[in-house]
């Protein structure tokens, strides 16, 4: 008799291939998928095992004709019925378990010997060992046998248990320094201003300290601290926000008095507004003979930044970064505004905050600059950020000095983490290293899972669905166009599309190609990017894929308005849906001159068609996405190959195909709404 495949045996036993594979792995038999072949001895062993359960159950059920797994299921169901039935004995006790539990733990909770549980399971066709996990349903059945009620404990993951911050009481809150980001058009003097601030306000106690670039620095005025993020521009600001970290309290908008409002000035205003962060305007270069501060005020008022003397509430401070004039006035205004904002935090608890810069240092290992948002970070604390964790070996401040602790808003570099954490990730202090490691493991698993599921951000379709369900009231758009004229026309028409239920917001618009900054802003604001006669540059496209931001390019205004209008009205044009056509397994790889690598494959299910899309899956992970460029049966080109046949598949770009890879063939289909 020839070898038998997993799926064949699973049919014979009446259980799913998946369940059979689980049993086989429990038994220590190495199988990869439902196509794997089994040795005769292995097949006999499994058949035996299932006969045990079959006989047992047949006896109990008076010769019922059901086979293996059905009996198992029936038996399980019978267990439930017994429990629910009227003549059931009252449960002797109740235990709480998680959704999956090891047999060892279950035996302890139930007070039943491990061996008894294993026997019980085996009699139901489940081979297991002391470390195997059983699901909730199975645990309930085991409990039922011993008259013990098993209930599900509240679902709580390790993150929510350890990283949820309890709200602070008002009396625990203390004032904290403001965190400031400087933005503005290129060459308007951001860097010069940051330098001037840094140099003018070094306190005497700090003199002598060598300033270090750690991503942020602290200055003092009237014994009060102000923290500046020292990467100027809105890119860092928005990148941070895209990761869910909003750390900036106040934006300083630098506008050169001799140049006035320029495209990046507007961009910066939009970014700050999208983040709801108040702006102080620093009118720079007032030393220049052609400086015209009034013109700057005039121009900015068109963007809603109206100076106080004109009845508005925006603070304008004239400065010369080059000559270090007006710096103290600017700092005073920052303090004034932060008093109004009542910036506070509780310093007396375990610290949490955000990573603002990170690097790998040859000597020191992972170096991460963090801003403490609440609590106090101390040397010796156990920190977790993303999947990186460790004991804080040292804290270094912006003057290069080792410090013992960092209070709210204060930037410090942290030494001692296992990996380099991501900028924008939150960090938390946890009670001990075991917990940090467990959270890190949990996150690594989740990342792998997410990679596999390829979770999407809001796509146009999802957005549409959510609008329909009434979940979304705001439709955020970033609009880029080739010329100002058409941009204005589109903007006006788009804004007219808003209705009572859905409000359309153009959070940013501008002339020029779609850039990385646009994608970041879109990601941070859950917006969709619309390009009119402009494309996205390569970097922006890569980032958009990574951040799952949708970019839509139009060449005809009507099409653009039609689509958006339809989305808002809830009548979107045909929906494009992905359909899986089939799966093939690569059995052999050969090189064909002129045609590249050809994957000799066996069609496991469905069919393979020429020109279809294909995902290359290796060990359960999608490693690439490509298109079929050639499809052959022996020497002939064919249009499609059906299940059970072998074929040669050539791919358009991917060149690293390996034996054992699974090719998932799919296509897009238009589904009318």
User: Using the rule CB under 6 A, is 287 a contact of ligand GTP?
Assistant: yes
Please give the structure tokens belonging to residue 162.
């350890």
Q: How far is CA 550 from the centre of its chain?
A: 16
- Residue 125 is assigned to a ligand binding site: no
User: Using the rule CB under 6 A, is 191 a contact of ligand GTP?
Assistant: yes
Nearer of residues 185 and 480 to ligand GTP, judged by Cβ = 185
Percentages (nearest 5) of helix, strand, coil residues in the chain: 35, 30, 35
- Find the shortest distance in angstroms from Cβ 322 to ligand GTP: 3
- Residue 539 is assigned to a ligand binding site: no
Structural contact between residues 521 and 271, judged by C-beta atoms closer than 8 angstroms: yes
User: Using the rule CB under 6 A, is 320 a contact of ligand GTP?
Assistant: yes
Please give the structure tokens belonging to residue 257.
């008095």
Strands (E) across 593-661 are located at: 596-609, 613-618, 621-633, 636-637, 640-642, 646-651
The H-or-E segment that residue 118 falls in is helix 114-122
Nearer of residues 233 and 606 to ligand GTP, judged by Cβ = 233
- Residue 304 is assigned to a ligand binding site: no
CA distance 393 to 126: 49
User: Using the rule CB under 6 A, is 322 a contact of ligand GTP?
Assistant: yes
User: Using the rule CB under 6 A, is 284 a contact of ligand GTP?
Assistant: yes
User: Using the rule CB under 6 A, is 288 a contact of ligand GTP?
Assistant: yes
- Find the shortest distance in angstroms from Cβ 291 to ligand GTP: 8
CA distance 326 to 67: 88
Residues numbered 193-232 forming contacts with ligand GTP, rule: CB under 6 A: 232
User: Using the rule CB under 6 A, is 190 a contact of ligand GTP?
Assistant: yes
Angle between helical axes of 557-569 and 460-468 (0-180°, round to 10): 40
- Residue 503 is assigned to a ligand binding site: no
Q: What is the largest CA-CA distance in the chain?
A: 105
Stretch that binds ligand GTP, among 38-46, 187-195, 374-382, 469-477 (CB under 6 A): 187-195
Stretch that binds ligand GTP, among 186-194, 355-363, 414-422, 661-669 (CB under 6 A): 186-194
Are β-strands 528-532 and 474-481 bridged in parallel, bridged antiparallel, or unpaired?
parallel
What is the distance in angstroms between the CA of the first residue and the CA of the last residue of the chain? 53
User: Using the rule CB under 6 A, is 297 a contact of ligand GTP?
Assistant: no
- Find the shortest distance in angstroms from Cβ 261 to ligand GTP: 14
CA angle at residue 367 from 158 to 440, to 5 degrees?
Answer: 15
- Of 3, 154, 124, 151, give the one whose Cα is nearest residue 58: 124
- Residue 231 is assigned to a ligand binding site: yes
- Find the shortest distance in angstroms from Cβ 198 to ligand GTP: 13
> What SS3 string covers 254-317?
EEECCCCCCHHHHHHHHHHHHCCCCEEEEEECCCCCCCCHHHHHHHHHCCCCCEHHHCCCEEEE
* Contact residue for ligand GTP among 83, 271, 285, 632 (CB under 6 A): 285
- Residue the block writes with tokens 């306000």: 201
- Find the shortest distance in angstroms from Cβ 260 to ligand GTP: 14
- Find the shortest distance in angstroms from Cβ 286 to ligand GTP: 7
- Find the shortest distance in angstroms from Cβ 661 to ligand GTP: 47
CA distance 159 to 163: 5
SS3 478: strand
User: Using the rule CB under 6 A, is 321 a contact of ligand GTP?
Assistant: yes
User: Using the rule CB under 6 A, is 438 a contact of ligand GTP?
Assistant: no
User: Using the rule CB under 6 A, is 187 a contact of ligand GTP?
Assistant: yes
CA distance 530 to 556: 12
Tell me how many residues contact ligand GTP (CB under 6 A). 16
- Residue 184 is assigned to a ligand binding site: yes
Nearer of residues 193 and 371 to ligand GTP, judged by Cβ = 193
User: Using the rule CB under 6 A, is 192 a contact of ligand GTP?
Assistant: yes
Residues numbered 480-509 forming contacts with ligand GTP, rule: CB under 6 A: none
Cross-strand partners of 135: 100
User: Using the rule CB under 6 A, is 186 a contact of ligand GTP?
Assistant: yes
Nearer of residues 272 and 415 to ligand GTP, judged by Cβ = 272
CA distance 671 to 660: 34
- Residue 284 is assigned to a ligand binding site: yes
Binding-site annotation, residues for GTP: 184-191, 230-234, 284-287
What residues line the site for ligand GTP (CB under 6 A)? 184, 186-192, 232, 284-285, 287-288, 320-322
């Amino acid at each position: 008799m020839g070898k038998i495949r997993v799926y064949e045996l699973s049919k014979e036993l009446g259980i799913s291939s998946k369940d059979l594979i689980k049993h086989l792995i429990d038994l220590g038999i190495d199988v990869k998928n439902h196509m794997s072949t089994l040795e005769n001895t292995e097949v006999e062993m499994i058949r035996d095992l299932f006969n045990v359960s079959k006989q047992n159950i047949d006896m109990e059920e008076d010769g019922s004709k059901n086979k293996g797994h059905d009996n198992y299921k029936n038996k399980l169901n019978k267990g439930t019925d017994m429990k629910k039935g009227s003549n059931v004995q009252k449960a002797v006790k109740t235990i709480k378990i998680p959704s999956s539990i090891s047999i060892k733990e279950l035996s302890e909770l139930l007070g039943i010997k491990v061996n008894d549980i294993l026997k019980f399971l085996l009699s139901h066709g489940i081979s297991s060992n002391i470390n195997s996990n059983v699901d909730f349903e199975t645990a309930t059945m085991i409990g039922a046998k011993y008259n013990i009620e098993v209930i599900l404990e509240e679902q709580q993951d390790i993150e929510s248990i350890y990283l949820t911050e309890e709200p602070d009481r008002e009396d625990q809150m203390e004032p904290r320094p403001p965190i400031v980001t400087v933005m503005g058009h290129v060459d308007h003097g951001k860097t010069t201003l940051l330098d001037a601030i840094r140099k003018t306000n070094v306190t005497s106690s700090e003199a002598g300290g060598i300033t270090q670039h750690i991503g942020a620095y602290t200055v003092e005025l009237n014994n009060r601290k102000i923290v500046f993020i020292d990467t100027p521009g809105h890119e860092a600001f928005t990148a941070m926000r895209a990761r869910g970290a909003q750390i900036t309290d106040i934006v300083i908008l630098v506008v050169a008095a001799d140049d006035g409002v320029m495209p990046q000035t507007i961009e910066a205003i939009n970014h700050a507004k999208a983040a709801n962060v108040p702006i102080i305007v620093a009118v720079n270069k007032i030393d220049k003979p052609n400086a015209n501060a009034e013109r700057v005020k005039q121009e900015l008022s068109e963007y809603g930044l109206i100076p106080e003397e004109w009845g508005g509430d925006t603070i304008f401070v004239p400065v010369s970064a080059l000559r270090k004039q007006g710096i103290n006035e600017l700092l005073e205004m920052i303090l004034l505004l932060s008093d109004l904002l009542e910036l506070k935090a509780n310093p007396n608890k375990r610290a949490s905050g955000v990573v603002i810069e990170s690097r790998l240092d040859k000597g020191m290992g992972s170096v991460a600059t963090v801003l403490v948002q609440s609590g106090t970070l101390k040397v010796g604390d156990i920190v977790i950020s993303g999947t990186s964790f460790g004991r804080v070996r040292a804290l270094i401040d912006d003057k290069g000095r080792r410090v013992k602790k960092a209070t709210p808003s204060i930037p410090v570099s942290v030494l001692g983490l296992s990996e380099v954490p991501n900028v924008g990730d939150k960090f938390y202090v946890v009670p001990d290293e075991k917990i940090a490691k467990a959270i890190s493991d949990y996150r690594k698993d989740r990342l792998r899972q997410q990679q596999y599921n390829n979770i999407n951000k809001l796509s146009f379709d999802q957005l549409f669905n959510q609008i329909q369900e009434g979940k979304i009231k705001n439709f955020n758009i970033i609009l880029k166009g080739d010329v100002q004229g058409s941009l204005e026309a589109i903007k006006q028409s788009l804004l007219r599309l808003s209705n009572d239920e859905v409000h359309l917001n153009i959070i940013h618009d501008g002339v020029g190609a779609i850039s990385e900054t646009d994608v970041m802003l879109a990601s941070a604001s859950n917006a969709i990017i619309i390009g009119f006669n402009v494309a996205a540059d390569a970097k922006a496209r890569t980032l958009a894929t990574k951040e799952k931001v949708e970019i839509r390019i139009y060449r005809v205004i009507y099409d653009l308005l039609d689509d958006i209008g339809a989305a808002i009205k809830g009548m979107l044009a045909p929906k494009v849906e992905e359909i899986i056509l089939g799966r093939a397994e690569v059995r052999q790889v050969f090189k064909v001159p002129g045609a590249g690598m050809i994957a000799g494959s066996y069609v496991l299910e469905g069919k393979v068609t020429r020109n279809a899309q294909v995902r290359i899956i290796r060990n359960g992970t999608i490693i690439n996405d490509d298109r079929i460029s050639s499809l052959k049966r022996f020497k002939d080109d064919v249009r499609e190959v059906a299940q059970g046949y072998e074929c040669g598949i050539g791919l358009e770009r991917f060149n690293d195909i390996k034996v054992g890879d699974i090719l998932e063939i799919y296509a897009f289909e238009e589904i009318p709404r």
